[in-house]
Structure 1
């Protein structure tokens, strides 16, 4: 498979600084169950509009929605990306970053300008730092909203991301494998060697994060694996078991594809009312500011969601050659658009009694923020109300203010998770903070 030539236009669309204005959250901006999608707009060079990473000035925090407050649950972390709550209320945070790229490869960026642009993005966004490769345990025993205990639960991992506890076994999705460790309630340190459960696609690692959830009975692990390219330009041999959610038998390590055609499935969570698995997906680039919207969708077992041949159902991406009309014909349309280039990563559903009742069962989404859109998009935590297990209204801001007046990124939200009391935790991998959002009392 190859990518067709880009259209030549008089002006080069290389933007290294933008106005930073965020899109309104309506269908015309690529949000909601029936977003308005424009025609593709292709340029000689991809748009690059990078929010330089600065961190948070003393005393500055993100801005919560009216009626809520925000505080630092834990600070001084090392690139915190993903969160998991243990049954006793302890919070695990994966302090992690991309693994080193294989020697002689460009990391799957496709070479040329695109590879250069993504390296520049990593550098200016503060993302290309060595991975801490550890999982840290945070404990707020007095429930005051601040973790007073911090210990390294696991270290010497390989770009860990997703976590799931089944009985007395803690599963961790490294960039290259799912591994297992013994765990007993209250443990603050695990020294046992990892037991490999199943290998995961690695190599170029264009998308390296591997999210992980377990079925309710613990008989299956579900792992999100992103593509190794934008639209398959590195060849489909590089995409085996990628752009997919894998189902793994933890007893045998046998795996199968649970759903496919998902360019970069990141957040995985069970919707409590329907019992269905939902996922946030980062869509393809280089079709313009407003294509293609990232989305969240319920996952149909065996379902195909279009990548790379089509997007948002059966809209053919004419850059992809050769095409596959039969697969396009069965491509499923996602349930809910989350805005173009928002990098929607974290996903969790409202639980507990601390938040008002209208938030229970609704989706909270961590949007890491765009690097290739003008104006910038994302850089927020969204809430989408649900009713009867399905989205039931427009998205709402829960946490904003991650960009300063100079359009620099003081923080970027990633993983979202509720703590044991019912407050929302947000991992910020630029500010190196976990924020805690709770109602004002």
Structure 2
């Protein structure tokens, strides 16, 4: 479905000089325009904005130096007039600004900076949370004193393997999964109290696999999006076809107290729109779990998992009414194993999920063309750009970050 829509937009681009004129070949709906804000920033992740100041979290690879948080002060043309680095914040993902403070996740926790008029905070950060499992930590604040932190479950064909399973046998999962005691979920903490550990938090929700996208929708609830299972058909080819594997969706959930999103015991088939028992827990690619307490996603992205990496709700008024309070999601792009797929992998775009009151609508492509001019360009090794972060600016424009060249765009409407 999404690939068909992408092809249609490419055809529209060829017929419309206004759309074709977008920088870097980006494809946007009529009336929208993109400009390059910055480039060459390195391994960027999520973003937060305050006035004309843009803060960008980063992660570094093996044998690469940490660059900390990148702080950019933007001029009237939305280009940097000052660039600084806030050191010591390593392997970050989540970053938020709330009530004059900058919250940023690290590999093992969350820190808080008091922001003054200067671009770089002058005071040392407070460690709000520490000692978490070293993984991605998206964060969200509800404005009522709560700080939500996601902790990944893990990756692979079987994420909670029974160590007693013979090495030459198919993976078998443990139930209950002991990993869920300290990861694979969302924890709620006090947003101002320093020195908190995992035990100080409220185990708010469980059953997530690999979540980097988390945001609070004002007047509603917490929402998160995460990656579906990989390698399932390769491990159990007698049970699942390649098409069955493609149907395993990336999922977006409305998360309330006690929500169980089903990992590692189940997965969501985005084509059949049904929850199925995972093969390492006795599933056969057709059978639903006997338990009825697993939550269904409010939106699912399939076939072909797009690798969702960020989520933000549109809180501005610059965009047309249909976008207000809806969700923008950064899709990093599938094919992380390097497999070249004719016609391209899923993702490499910005998706939009409209909301009517508190009900999610049908996902649609908002911005495309990041990988290249055709769907075939959507391959990990050749993609020109791979979206990783989205953030709404105070003026209502949408900022998009990507990882290949460390580039950031500003998308505006009617300017």
Indicate the residue corresponding to 2:236 in structure 1.
Answer: none
Equivalent residue in structure 2 for 1:320, among 272, 275, 281: 281
Confirm whether residue 23 of structure 1 aligns to residue 3 of structure 2: yes
Matches within 5 A, 1:394-409: 394-403=363-372, 407=377, 408-409=382-383
Is the 8 Å Cα contact of residues 253 and 299 (structure 2) preserved in structure 1? yes
* Cα separation, partners in 2 of 1:158 and 1:83, compared to 1, 3 Å: same
Matches within 5 A, 1:139-158: 139-142=73-76, 144-152=77-85, 154-158=86-90
Give 1:130 shift: 2.6
Is the 8 Å Cα contact of residues 73 and 147 (structure 1) preserved in structure 2? yes
Matches within 5 A, 1:175-190: 175-184=107-116, 186-190=117-121
Distance 2:153 2:363 in 1: 29
Distance 1:168 1:97 in 2: 27
Indicate the residue corresponding to 1:202 in structure 2.
Answer: 133
Confirm whether residue 278 of structure 1 aligns to residue 223 of structure 2: yes
User: What is the TM-score of this pair, normalised by structure 2?
Assistant: 0.76
Equivalent residue in structure 2 for 1:267, among 204, 213, 218: 213
- Structure 2, unaligned stretches of length 5 or more? 7-22, 163-176, 233-241, 269-273
Equivalent residue in structure 2 for 1:387, among 356, 361, 371: 356
Confirm whether residue 311 of structure 1 aligns to residue 267 of structure 2: yes
Equivalent residue in structure 1 for 2:297, among 317, 334, 343: 334
- Secondary structure of residue in 2 paired with 1:331: coil
What is the aligned residue count?
349
Matches within 5 A, 1:119-138: 130=64, 132-138=66-72
Indicate the residue corresponding to 2:248 in structure 1.
Answer: 292
* Cα separation, partners in 2 of 1:165 and 1:439, compared to 1, 3 Å: closer
Distance 1:436 1:414 in 2: 14
- Secondary structure of residue in 1 paired with 2:150: strand
Distance 1:62 1:398 in 2: 7
Matches within 5 A, 1:25-424: 60-86=24-50, 88-97=51-60, 130=64, 132-142=66-76, 144-152=77-85, 154-184=86-116, 186-203=117-134, 208-217=135-144, 219-230=145-156, 231-233=158-160, 236-250=177-191, 251=193, 253=196, 254-272=200-218, 274-287=219-232, 288=242, 289-312=245-268, 314-320=275-281, 328-339=291-302, 340-371=304-335, 374=341, 375-403=344-372, 407=377, 408-424=382-398
- Secondary structure of residue in 2 paired with 1:60: helix
Distance 1:227 1:327 in 2: 22
* Cα separation, partners in 2 of 1:89 and 1:301, compared to 1, 3 Å: farther
* Cα separation, partners in 2 of 1:321 and 1:296, compared to 1, 3 Å: same
- Secondary structure of residue in 2 paired with 1:209: coil
Deviations 1:140-165 (A, max 9, x none): 242x232333222x212221121233
- Secondary structure of residue in 2 paired with 1:24: helix
* Cα separation, partners in 2 of 1:174 and 1:305, compared to 1, 3 Å: same
Q: Which has the higher contact order (CA 8 A, sep 6+)?
A: 1
- Secondary structure of residue in 1 paired with 2:322: helix
Distance 1:321 1:175 in 2: 34
Is the 8 Å Cα contact of residues 155 and 210 (structure 2) preserved in structure 1? no
- Secondary structure of residue in 2 paired with 1:70: strand
Is the 8 Å Cα contact of residues 133 and 183 (structure 2) preserved in structure 1? no
Give 1:64 shift: 2.3
- Structure 1, unaligned stretches of length 5 or more? 1-20, 27-58, 101-128
Distance 1:353 1:166 in 2: 20
Indicate the residue corresponding to 1:425 in structure 2.
Answer: 399
Give 1:24 shift: 3.1
Give 1:226 shift: 1.0
- Secondary structure of residue in 2 paired with 1:426: strand
Distance 2:65 2:296 in 1: 35
Give 1:261 shift: 0.4
